[in-house]
A = this chain, B = another copy of it.
């Protein structure tokens, strides 16, 4: 049988609050949810859209862009909509590829720094056997990316 959730159930399923679900609908971050005697019913399509939107949000896509994506989706299968959605997602994917690079770099650097700290006192807290005091040979330094709240 198809999914058919109340707002409270949908909240539980998504990890959002009912407030936030209504709020997202209000600002057009998700499509208007169909009602049955006035109450919102979250079916499969609704839940799938929410999950996708959350994935975009989770990877730092600006709310504005998500709103624009959902707006385009509502236009249906017109060229403008299809092309627009493709472009939006492509731009975001490109952005994410960039993040992937800095993320990988940062992890590498952190691992180096951690190794340095561990070479002085092991992860267990005991002083390491060899190792001169290489600490504060400053593994700091590097470039300067950014991430919004994301």
Contacts and interface: CB of A to CB of B under 8 A. Distances in A.
Interface in A78-100: 79, 82-83, 85-86, 89-90, 92-93, 96-97, 99-100
Interface stretch (A17-25, A34-42, A110-118): A110-118
Of the candidates A45, A82, A118, A149, the one having the most CB atoms from chain B within 10 angstroms of its own CB is A82
Contact of A147 (B15, B100, B113, B150): B150
28 contacts: A45-B138, A47-B141, A48-B138, A51-B140, A51-B142, A51-B143, A52-B140, A52-B142, A54-B144, A55-B143, A55-B145, A58-B144, A59-B102, A59-B103, A59-B106, A77-B135, A77-B136, A79-B127, A82-B120, A83-B125, A86-B114, A89-B113, A90-B110, A93-B107, A93-B111, A96-B110, A100-B104, A100-B107
A83 B121 contact: yes
A51 B121 contact: no
Chain A interface secondary structure, helix, strand, loop or mixed? helix
A14 interface: yes
A55 B140 CA distance: 10
Contacts of A79: 121, 125, 127
Nearest to A79: B121
Interface in A46-62: 47-49, 51-52, 54-60
A57 B142 CA distance: 13
A52 B85 contact: no
